[in-house]
Amino acid sequence: MQVYLRPIALCDSPQAEEGEAIRLAGGLTYASRFALILREGGKVVARRRFGLGEAEAVLAGAPAEARAQWAALQAPRPALVCGERVIRLDQPQVMGILNLTPDSFSDGGRFSADGDVALAHAAAMLEAGAAMIDIGGESTRPGAPPVWEGDEIARVVPVIERLARTGAAISVDTRRVAVMEEALAVGAHLWNDVAALRHDPRGAQWAARAGVPVVLMHAPGQGDDLHDAGIYRDVVLDVFDWLKSRRDAAEAAGIARGRILLDPGIGFGKSLQENLALMNALPLFHALGCALLVGASRKRMIGALSHEAAADQRLGGSLMLAHKMMEAGVQVIRVHDVPETVQALRVWRGLRDQALTDFAQVVD
C-alpha cells in the first residue's frame, strides 16, 4: 500500500492559524491542513483530512511511512555547497538557464555560437540575482535528436571553465557521466540529470564517489526520447512514487539525501492537464524529504493557455508559475527570465516577512 501526506491548506504565517501550522521543509511556507491518502493497486482506497491539532491521533493509527513523511515535511533542507559558495535553501533561490544548444526551444540557440556572448549572459543573470547558472549542451525538447557526448563536452566545458573563474555556482544539465566528469574537473558543482541517473549505468556510483549534488527529474521515457510512454493512473501520485523510487536508488548507491534534489519534470511526457495538476500539488513533494527544483519557464503549457504565444512571449505565464513555486515552498526555481523572476521573488519575500511579523491584537 502506498502512502501520501499532502498539505492541502497553506498560510502566510503560523500566527494566521494561531500556531496550528507547520513550516514546510524549513522554508517560508506554512501548512495548516493535510490529507492522508492511501493507494493500493493504483487506486486511492482512503483519504482523510485533518488539521494540526488532529495530527498526532491520525498519524498514530497510520502506517509508519506516514509518520516518516510527516517528519520529512518539516525537516529543514541542508544548504548546497558549491565550491566557496553556500546556497541556503530556507527560502526560494533562482537558477538561471544558459542553453548552449543550436536548437534551443526558448532562445533559438543565440548563446551557442559565441562563448563571450554566453558568458556575458551568465554574468547578467548572476548580477540580477541568480544563485546559480544551469548550463546545458543538449536540447531535451520533444523530438530533439540526441547529441554525441563529444559535441556536448565541446559546447559546455569551455564556458563552464571560464565561468568558474568568477566564483559562480554552476549546475550542468546533462544525462552523461562523461560530460559531468569533464565539467566537474573545470569547476562545475551540481549535476542536473533529466534522466534521473538512468541514462548511464555508472551514474549513481560515480555521483556518490564524486560527492556532487544531483537533481533527479521525472521523465517517463527510458531511451533517447524522455517524453515517451507518459501514461498515468494519477499523475501526481505516480510521479511521487517514481521520484521516491529514484531517491531510494540514489541513496542505496551512497548519495546522501541532503545532496539529492527532486524535480517533477513539468512538460516531460505530460499533458496540459497533467502539468497543471503537478503544479497544484507541489507541496506534496516535500514529503519525500529532499529539496525541490522545478522548471516551467517558457514551457509549452504557457503557450497552450495563452493563444499559442511563442516561447519568447511567455514571460507573464512564467512569472505566474514561478509565484506558484514560491507559495509551495520550492527551493530552486529554474528560469530563463532572471531579473523579472528575482524581482517577483523579492516582493514575495517582503510580503512573507510582513506576514511573519504581523499579528492581531484582541481588544477587550
pTM for the model? 0.95
For each of the domains in the chain, give its residue range(s) and CATH number, in order of start. Answer: 2-74 (no CATH), 80-352 (3.20.20.20)
Q: Which of 155, 247, 299, 314 is catalytic?
A: 299
The answer to whether residue 334 is catalytic is yes
**Per-residue pLDDT, 106:** 55
**Per-residue pLDDT, 226:** 86
Query: Cell numbers at residue 11, please?
Result: 498560510
**Per-residue pLDDT, 112:** 55
Q: Encode the chain (364 residues) as per-residue pLDDT tens digits.
A: 999 999 999 999 999 999 999 999 999 999 999 999 999 999 999 999 999 999 999 999 999 999 999 999 999 999 999 999 999 999 999 999 999 988 666 565 665 557 899 999 999 999 999 999 999 999 888 878 889 999 999 999 999 999 999 999 999 999 999 999 999 999 999 999 999 999 999 999 999 999 999 999 999 988 778 888 789 999 999 999 999 999 999 999 999 999 999 999 999 999 999 999 999 999 999 999 999 999 999 999 999 999 999 999 999 999 999 999 999 999 999 999 999 999 999 999 999 999 998 765 545 4
Q: How far apart are CA 183 and CA 98, in angstroms?
A: 15
Angle formed by the axes of helices 115-128 and 338-357, to 10°? 20
Task: Report which of 120, 125, 10, 4 is spatially closest to residue 62, judged by C-alpha positions.
Answer: 4
Q: For 262, phi and psi rounded to 5 degrees?
A: -120, 140
Q: How far apart are CA 227 and CA 141, in angstroms?
A: 9
Q: How far apart are CA 161 and CA 109, in angstroms?
A: 20
